[in-house]
Amino acid sequence: MIVFDHVTVRYADADEPSLRDVTLEIPEGELVLVVGPTGSGKSTLLRTINGLVPHFSGGTLTGRVIVDDHSTADHRPRDLATVVGLVEQNPVSTFVTDVVEDEIAYGMETMGLDPTTIRRRVEETLDLFGLTPLRTRPLGALSGGQQQRVAIASVFAAGPQILVLDEPTSALDPVAAEEVLASLHRIVHDLGVTVVLAEHRLERVVHHADRVILIDGGRTSALLDPAEAMADSPIHPPLVALSRLARWTPTPLSIRDARRRAGALRERLAAAMPTAGRDDGTSQRPSVLFEGAQVLRAGRPVIDDLSLSLFPGTVTALMGRNGAGKSTLLGTVAGQLTPEAGSVRVADGPTWAQPASLPARRRVALVGLVPQQPELLLYSDSVAAECAAADQDFDVASGTAAAILEGISGGLDPTRHPRDLSEGQRLELALSVILAGSPTVLLLDEPTRGLDYGAKERLGATLRDLASRGTTVLLATHDVELAAEVADRVVILADGEVVADGPVRQVLASSPAFAPQVTKVLRPQTWLTVDEVAAALGRSA
C-alpha cells in the first residue's frame, strides 16, 4: 500500500537531512504508529505519503515513495486526494468553511459526489466522531479539541484509502481521545482503511497500533510489533516504565493486561501508601480571584457564576472535557475577555487589578499566557531574533530568553525560522519568550501539545522551579500524566462550572476519566507516578 524506497529528504539550508535512507513497506488495513522525539522527522515522514514533501515543502527528496501504485514524484497532493487524507497538527489552518457540517461536506463536494451520497456520508461521519450536537456550530466557536475532531471527520468523510494523522489526540480530553481512537480502530478493522499516525501521547494510542515505526534523527526502524518496540524504546508511556520497574515480561500495553499482573506489586506497596499530596497554597493571599464571574462568547455563557482562588507558589491543573470553558477562563485572567457579571482580579502588589483594564505593558508583566497556538506569539524570522525581541520588549539583559530556551528545549538552532520548527519546538520558544518577562502569573493552554516525554519532563521541571520561586502557574491540560507529575491542585470544569477542586491525588485518583495510568493499574491504591512507586520500592525509575 505504501512503499518507501531509500527515501532521503533534505530541506534547503538544513545541515542534516530530515529523513535518511528510509526503506519501509506499510501494508493495507494496518494502524501504524510513528514514534520519535520532537523534531525527529515524524511530520516529514507523514507528509511524504501524500506528496506535500517535497512538492510544497521545498527541499529535495531522493528515492521513491509509492502510494497505491502511484509515485509521489509524478503525482502531486491534489492527484492523490482520493487516495490519501492528511490531518495536520493545527486543524484551523486547513478549514475552508464556517460551519461544522459544511466543513465535513466540502471535500466531497469538490470531488463532485452527488448530494444524496454527501448527505448520507455527513450523517454517518457526524455520528462516528460524536459531532452531531455540534453540526450547526461555527468552527470558530469550537474548542481546540472540537476543531481537531472536525478536521479528522472532514478528511475521513471524503473516503480516502489511507488516513495520515499528525498528533490527532493532542488537543482532546481523555474521553474524546479514546472515542476518536476507537473510531480509527473501527475503520481499520471494519473498512480496511490504512491509518498512519504520529503521536507523542503513547499512553493513549499504542495499544491500538498494529505496528510501530521508531524514528530518530531521520532514521527509521523496520515495522515492529508494539510490545517489542516498547520493550526497548527510550520513548515510552508510564505503563511501560511501570512494567520495566516491576520486570513484567512481555510488556503489557493496556491497563487491563497490566492489572492482571499487578497483584503482587500491589501487595508489596500496601505497606507504603502515598502521602496526601503537595501544599495547595491556600494559607496565603490569593494571586488570582474569581468572584461569581460570568463570561460570554457569542452571547452564550461559557463561564457561569464561577468563584475560584489561585495562590502563589502553586501549580494548578485546569481540566475538563473539550468545550468546558478552560481556554475562556485563561483568556479572562489574561485580560483578553471581560466578565459580563461578577469579577476576576489579579494581585498587583498590595492592591487588586482587573486584568482587562490594565495597560498592556503592565498586564503582560503580571500575567503571561502561552496559547494553544504558540505561533501567535512569534513574529521574527529566526529563533535568535525572537529571543532578542523578547529581551528588548521586557527590558531584560540580553540573552535572557535564549538562556531560558536552552533550559526548556535542550537547544534549538538559533538560525531556524519559527515556522520551520515542530509544533513542540514552537511551544518551547513561545514559553521562553513569555518567561523572559518573569510574570507573577503564568497561564499555559495545552502546553504539552507536540512535546515528547523528554520535553515534557523538562517543562515539568521548569514549572515546578517557577512555583518554588513564587509564581502562580495555571495550566489548562488534557494531559493527566503531566498533571500527576507537576500539579499541586486540580480543578475540573464542566459547562463553565467547577465540579471538582482539590489536591492532585484526591481529584485524579478518584476520577475514572482523568486518572493517570499508574493509578488505573494499582487501584484501589492512589499512586500517581512511576517515580512514586520506585521510591516506595527503593529503586530508580
Distance CA 388, CA 378 (A): 12
Q: 474 falls in which pLDDT band (50, 70, 90)?
A: very high
Higher-scoring residue by pLDDT: 15, 432: 432
Q: Provide the phi-psi class of 475: left if phi over 0, else alpha when psi is between -120 and 50, else beta.
A: beta
What is the pLDDT, as a whole number, of residue 101? 95
Rounded to 5°, angle at Cα 406 from 404 and 411:
155
pLDDT at 440 over 90: yes
Mean pLDDT, all residues of the chain: 91
Higher pLDDT, residue 403 or 278: 403
Residue 541's pLDDT is 63
Residue 275's pLDDT band (cuts 50, 70, 90): low
What is the average per-residue pLDDT within 115-140?
92
In the sheet that 300-310 helps form, which strands lie side by side, from edge to edge? 300-310, 288-297, 341-348, 351-353
Rounded Cα distance between 64 and 71, Å, is 7
At which residue does the C-alpha cell 468572584 appear? 291
- Measure the CA–CA gap between 529 and 482, rounded to whole angstroms: 10
Output the pLDDT for position 142.
82
Q: How far apart (Å, rounded) are the C-alpha atoms in residues 491 and 316?
A: 7
pLDDT of 130 reads 84
**Left, alpha or beta for 247 (phi > 0: left; psi -120 to 50: alpha)?**
left
Task: Please determine, for residue 283, whether its predicted confidence score (pLDDT) is greater than 80.
Answer: no
2-235 and 288-524, same CATH topology? yes
Q: How many residues does the chain have?
A: 541
The confidence score (pLDDT) of residue 281 equals: 65
Task: For 68-114, list the strands marked E by DSSP.
Answer: 70-71, 84-87
Does 3.40.50.300 match the CATH number of domain 288-524? Answer: yes
- Give the neighbor-by-neighbor strand order of the sheet with 489-494: 367-370, 441-445, 472-476, 315-319, 489-494, 497-503
The whole-number average pLDDT for the span 428-443 is 94
Tens digit of pLDDT for each residue in 148-199? 889 989 999 988 999 999 988 887 888 888 888 888 888 899 889 999 999 9
Type of residue found at 321: R
CA 260/CA 282 separation, integer angstroms: 40
Q: Cα separation of 14 and 8, whole Å?
A: 13
pLDDT at 295: 94
The predicted structure's pLDDT at residue 274: 75
Taking only the tens place, the pLDDT of each residue in 296-306 is 987 889 999 99
The pLDDT value recorded for residue 540 is 67
The closest of 204, 211, 250, 281 to 502, measured between CA atoms, is 281
In the chain, where the domains are located: 2-235, 237-274+527-541, 288-524
Helix or strand or coil: residue 496?
coil
Fold exhibited by the domain 2-235? Rossmann fold (3.40.50)
Q: Are 477 and 489 in contact (CB under 8 A)?
A: no
pLDDT tops 70 at residue 277: no
The model's confidence at residue 207, banded by pLDDT at 50, 70 and 90, is very high
Distance (Å, whole) CA 67 – CA 53: 14
Determine whether 126 is exposed, middle or buried from the number of CB atoms within 10 Å of its CB (0-12, 13-18, 19+). Answer: buried
Average pLDDT over residues 356-381: 90
| pLDDT value of residue 276 | 58
Task: Say what the pTM is.
Answer: 0.88
Please tell me which of 119-133, 305-319, 396-410 the model is most confident about, judged by mean pLDDT.
Answer: 305-319
> What's the confidence (pLDDT) of residue 340?
94
By three-state DSSP, how is residue 353 classified? Answer: strand
Query: What is the β-pairing status of strands 19-26 and 2-10?
Result: antiparallel
Q: For 89-105, what is each residue's pLDDT tens digit? A: 777 778 999 999 999 99
Which pLDDT value is given to residue 245? Answer: 95
pLDDT band of residue 486 (cuts 50, 70, 90) is: very high
Q: Is the pLDDT of residue 489 over 90?
A: yes
Q: What is the pLDDT of residue 373?
A: 84
- Residue 185 in contact with residue 205, Cβ under 8 Å? no
Name beta bridge partners: 5.
64
pLDDT at 344 over 90: yes
pLDDT digits (tens, 9 = 90+) for 45-58: 999 999 999 988 88
Quick one: what percent of the chain has pLDDT higher than 70? 98
Give the 3-state DSSP-derived string for 288-331, with helices as H, strands as E and coil as C: EEEEEEEEEECCEEEEEEEEEEECCCCEEEEECCCCCCHHHHHH
Phi, psi dihedrals of residue 522, rounded to the nearest 5° = -105, 5
pLDDT tens digits for range 211-238: 999 999 999 999 999 999 998 899 999 9
